[in-house]
Amino acid sequence: MTHVVAIDQGTTSSRCFVFDEQGGLVAFDQREHRQIFPRPGWVEHDPHEIWRNVQAVVQGALSQAGVRDIAAVGITNQRETTMIWDAETGEPIGNAIVWQDTRTAEMLPSFGEIDAYRDRTGLPLATYFSAPKLRWLLDRHAVNHGERDVRMGTMDSWLIYKLTGQHATDVTNASRTMLMNLSTLDWDDSLLSAFGIPRSVLPEIVPSIGTIGDVGAGGPLAGVPLAGVLGDQQAALVGQACFAPGEAKCTYGTGAFVLLNTGEQPIRSGKGLVTTVGYQIKGKPAVYALEGSVAVAGALVQWLRDNLGIIRTAPEVNELAATVPDNGGCYIVPAFSGLFAPYWRPDARGVVCGLTGFVTKAHLARAALEATAWQVGDVMAAMVEEAGVVIEALNVDGGMAASDLLLQMQSDFLDVPVVRPTFTETTVLGAAYAAGLATGVWPGLSELRQHWKADRRFTPKMSNEDRSAAAARWAKAVERTLNWT
């Protein structure tokens, strides 16, 4: 039987999964890496440590699987995290700057207004994306090391280089740098000039689904084609088989990420959404997506556990919330560090509204789950309006997708079905699908759809009247968060 390997290089750990040709999980291994905080607001990763861990989890997963017939390997990765390395020796120059890092905030005004590059990149000017990070790294290390020849990459590029010796990135990761033109799918000279970045340091942009090169000698994947690369949220879009315009997925984790397939034409957002590349099959046009990010989802449950102590473990929030029929009139808006999409209000701060003597910790638990569902609902409302599509169902994954109560709330608030697959590790599944599709393990997208199986489908049970009234109260609660700082 043929197998496909997927490497998931995430923010807190690196993992390796082995899948069979039916898309079934055979084995996996995982290893965490350090989060380095040199100063307030700075977050770094050690590229040496990440590469060692990737090698270890690949060896571990393949040893568990006990298979040798590996047809292809795919990569999915934390997006926007940026690093540079010496072109001659291949040695990293300093640590990688992680996507959450805000050290470039003071630099941003020198690059222009927040929407200065949105027409070409689909992105607002923000510390989140890679270009300011790269400029910071080049400024810092050109002084320390002289004008040495360097190469730049996001974490996918680092792994591609270490595995194959090639300097490449795929279109989904390139679309998060603020340096790629969404229309040409190439580095944009005007953007390179704006950030002062030489084209020579950048990787070649390649399709997400297509062979890049064979893995070099010396490891268990030697000679295996590296055939799929996707940023993590785009990988989940593929893993959820959202291949048609209007199909959407939401990943519930610390935050929540909603992606809507918009087809072969990018839709520039005027409502605080990000335009990004969803995926590209080699030889075919790119497929684009609208993306909306919710900053605080699972993090609110952690706050209830760690800061308030009303639950001992995260899953307990579901049991506690289920002991009451509603939120008791209480709403929580977790704008701990401002509101993300579709509001983009850094001045917002979290609020708890509607408190009375009747409200108990159970009502707070229910309001916390509702907060995630309402925030996702706000993002999807903006998506529907901008894309002009009817969303027939929302596919979901991530840790919080284990909560039946949350998913029923989500269906009620959206007034659309919410579908949880049997295998919720859709990020690594998407990387495997990409690699297997490129190498003929799976003939086409229709075969991948057949492998995707629903675990449970949640359908709306809320009346239109109750939904409208609850939505109005949520909107009032959001209004209370604004202009706080």
Ordered by where they begin, the domains of the chain are: 3-240+425-445 (3.30.420.40)
Q: What is the pLDDT of residues 26-72, one digit of tens each?
A: 999 999 888 888 887 788 999 999 999 999 999 999 999 888 889 99
Q: What is the pLDDT of residues 62-105, one digit of tens each?
A: 999 888 889 999 999 998 899 999 888 889 999 999 888 888 88
Each as own residue / partner, the long-range contacts of residues 62-67 (CB below 8 Å, 24 or more positions apart, any chain) are 62/5, 62/16, 62/18, 62/27, 62/220, 62/221, 64/18, 64/27, 64/28, 64/29, 65/3, 65/18, 65/26, 65/27, 67/1, 67/3, 67/18, 67/26
Mean pLDDT over each residue of the chain, to the nearest integer: 91
- Residues paired with residue 84 on neighbouring β-strands, in sequence order: 152
The reported pLDDT for the residue numbered 223 is 92
What Rg value do the Cα atoms of the chain yield, rounded?
22
Residue 336's CB is within 10 A of a number of other CB atoms, namely: 14
Q: How far apart are CA 320 and CA 324, in angstroms?
A: 8
The two tokens of residue 234 are 């785009």
Contacts of 212 (CB under 8 A, 6+ apart): 160, 164, 166, 168, 206, 225, 226, 227, 229
Beta strands 454-458 and 82-86 are unpaired
DSSP secondary structure, 114-147, as one string? TTTTHHHHS--S-TTSHHHHHHHHHHHHHHHH-S
Residue 363 structure tokens = 């009502």
For residues 177 and 132, is the Cβ–Cβ distance under 8 A?
A: no
CA distance 391 to 394: 7
pLDDT tens readout for residues 393-424: 999 998 889 999 999 999 999 999 999 999 88
pTM of the model: 0.88
Residue type at 27? A
DSSP state, residue 310 = S
- Identify how many contiguous H helices and E strands the chain contains and give both numbers: 14, 23
Q: Which long-range contacts (CB under 8 A, 24 or more apart) does 449-453 make?
A: 449/241, 449/243, 451/22, 451/23, 451/241, 452/240, 452/241, 452/421, 453/421, 453/422, 453/423
Q: State the pLDDT confidence band at 298, using cuts at 50, 70 and 90.
A: confident
| Least confident piece of the model among 157-166, 341-350, 448-457 | 341-350
Angle at CA 135, nearest 5°, toward 174 and 188? Answer: 40
Note the pLDDT of residue 143: 45
Instruction: Evaluate whether 274 touches 122 at the Cβ level (below 8 Å).
Output: yes
Residue 137 has pLDDT above 80, yes or no: yes
Mean pLDDT of 151-173: 95
DSSP code of residue 471:
H
Q: Are 140 and 94 in contact (CB under 8 A)?
A: yes
429 pLDDT band, cuts 50/70/90, is very high
Cα 375 to Cα 340: distance, rounded to the nearest angstrom: 9
Q: How many CB atoms lie within 10 A of CB 97?
A: 25
The per-residue pLDDT for 146 is: 52
Alpha-carbon distance of 317 to 326, in angstroms, equals 14
Q: Is the CA virtual torsion 185, 173, 377, 249 positive or negative?
A: positive
CA 66 and chain centroid, separation: 31
379-391: average pLDDT: 89
